[in-house]
Chains A and B, each alone.
Chain A
Amino acid sequence: MKILYSIILASVLYIPVQAQSWVTRNGKITFNSKTSLENIKAVNSQVFAAIDASKKTIAFTLLQKNFLFEKQLMQDHFNENYIESDKYPKAQFAGTINGNIGTTPGIYKVQIDGKLTMHGVTQPVSMPAELELKDGKLTGKSAFSIKPSDYNIKIPSLVKDKIAAEIPVQVSAEFLPAK
């Protein structure tokens, strides 16, 4: 009897922990390097991301090769010369969500702090984010910027004027509850 009680009690306690996981496989990350000489814009629409609302953790991972550029040559140079996607195929982010994520529909403004790993370098990254719970979906939006130099991405002096020293990054993702 006691075992039964404890099992029931434990399962009741267990439910809230598992219920609030959110995932997506088609999150979108864009970046746009703007200089007076050239705009270099790229989109990756195959970003894998997950949020554990109860633990308030968040993770992103993507393949660098899935960044699509307007010009093929930019994409070739991104993969071959800068990001070296054969050596470092992925970019990853893992962080924690600071702020309240409610269980009722609404918009929740939060702060995300974590670590971004790409090109073999890990750097702390913080970004404000907006999470919207609506119709059983969790939509997240955020923006931050990165410096290629922080990630050991060397830009030759010849093209220095064509690549921004600080590149704004935009993130958007529509999460569905994890099964």
Chain B
Amino acid sequence: MQRTAIYILFFLLLQRGTAMAQENSLLQSLDDSLSMQQQHEVVTNTFKATQIVNLPTVESPAKQSLQFLIMHRFGKLNNGAYELFGLDNASIRFGLDYGITDRLAVGVGRSSVDKTFDGSLKYKLLRQTTGLSPVSVSLYGLITNYTQRYSDKPYLDAKYRTAYTTQVLIARKFTRNLSLEIVPTWMHFNLVPTAADKSDVFAVSAGGRMKFTKRMSLTAEYNYLLPDQIVSTSMKNSLSLGIDIETGGHVFQLIFTNSNGMIGPYYLTKTDGTWGKGDIFFGFNVSRIFNFKK
């Protein structure tokens, strides 16, 4: 009889033990199954804005949201006090970018430099995903047409004024603060200044951002045009530095760059400033997002 009691006690203890383990494991078992879900997670917010300074990023406006972007560059800092260190002069680009889907965006823009219109498409081909893809890849296509009148060049029709820029944007968010991007570019000009200049031009760009607070980051980009392609003008490679500040629906970018132009054919092939000589343009990009989703 005593043994029976011991057995019962033993089983009761065993049962009690199981019940307690169950209680503790309630959250544990939920967590375990939740972790399964976490295995393939899409990495978001590689960059705050749709451009580092001039170079497009892998980001695009979300579905049914419209981005209004103002890009603004003052004159060269080395213009001196007479020109208020460049602030007397300015060039500007207005842009509208709309997300058709979360992956596909269309854009239009107009720059004061050469009175240039542009149209663009950006498609998020691949998104950085834990365990699946180490990088995000977006494709960017830009068509530009300048409308500046040149009375001495009557042959310049719309076709000759058009150029095409194709970029493969490859980016990786390494940590929550550090994102880097590398971009091969192919440009085609319908008309180039001299026969020695190439009409198909290739460049490689690299850039990145380093967040130093939750809402502020340092950015940099360098655009390298492969040599011996543009020979008739003395072009320099474009180097830009900036600070991103995010406030609600805006992203402010304060920048220093040696490029006056803000779209592919201009910052990549028509940059003539040299940092060392003080040919530095101060400027800013400001974006505002409007939502049409209900």
* A21-B247 Cα distance, complex, nearest whole Å: 47
* A7-B289 Cα distance, complex, nearest whole Å: 69
* A73-B67 Cα distance, complex, nearest whole Å: 11
A73-B249, A76-B44 given; A61·B8 CB < 8 A = no
* A73-B64 Cα distance, complex, nearest whole Å: 12
Asked if B196 is an interface residue, CB under 8 A from chain A, the answer is no
How far does the Cβ of B13 sit from chain A's closest Cβ, in whole Å?
A: 10
A3-B7, A81-B214 given; A17·B30 CB < 8 A = no
Asked if A46 is an interface residue, CB under 8 A from chain B, the answer is yes
A5-B4, A79-B44 given; A71·B23 CB < 8 A = no
* A41-B65 Cα distance, complex, nearest whole Å: 17
Query: Most chain-B Cβ atoms within 10 A of its Cβ — which of A52, A73, A159?
Result: A73
Asked if A92 is an interface residue, CB under 8 A from chain B, the answer is yes
Residue of A at shortest CB range from B9? A6
Asked if A87 is an interface residue, CB under 8 A from chain B, the answer is yes
* A94-B59 Cα distance, complex, nearest whole Å: 38
Binding site for A on B (CB under 8 A): 3-4, 7-8, 10-12, 14-15, 18-19, 22-23, 26-27, 29-31, 33-34, 37-38, 41, 44-45, 62-63, 65, 102, 176, 214-215, 246-249, 289, 291, 293-294
* A50-B29 Cα distance, complex, nearest whole Å: 9
Determine, out of A8-16, A98-106, A122-130, the stretch whose residues face the partner at the interface.
Answer: A8-16
CB-based contact B30/A49 at 8 Å: yes
Binding site for B on A (CB under 8 A): 2-3, 5-7, 9-10, 13-14, 17, 21, 25, 46, 48-50, 52, 54-55, 57-63, 65, 70-73, 76-77, 79-81, 86-87, 89-90, 92, 94, 156, 158-159, 162
Residues from chain B with a CB closer than 8 A to the CB of A94 are: 26-27
CB-based contact B4/A59 at 8 Å: no
Q: Which of B11, B27, B31, B65 contacts A71 (CB 8 A)?
A: B65
Q: Which of B12, B63, B65 contacts A13 (CB 8 A)?
A: B12
CB-based contact B293/A7 at 8 Å: no
Q: Which of A3, A86, A90 contacts B176 (CB 8 A)?
A: A86
CB-based contact B33/A25 at 8 Å: yes
For this complex, 14 residue pairs linking A to B, each with C-beta atoms less than 8 Å apart, are A3-B7, A7-B7, A10-B7, A10-B11, A17-B19, A52-B26, A57-B26, A60-B30, A61-B30, A71-B65, A72-B63, A73-B62, A80-B45, A158-B247
CB-based contact B45/A76 at 8 Å: yes
Q: Which of B22, B30, B33, B45 contacts A55 (CB 8 A)?
A: B22
* A144-B217 Cα distance, complex, nearest whole Å: 37
Residues from chain A with a CB closer than 8 A to the CB of B15 are: 10, 13-14, 17
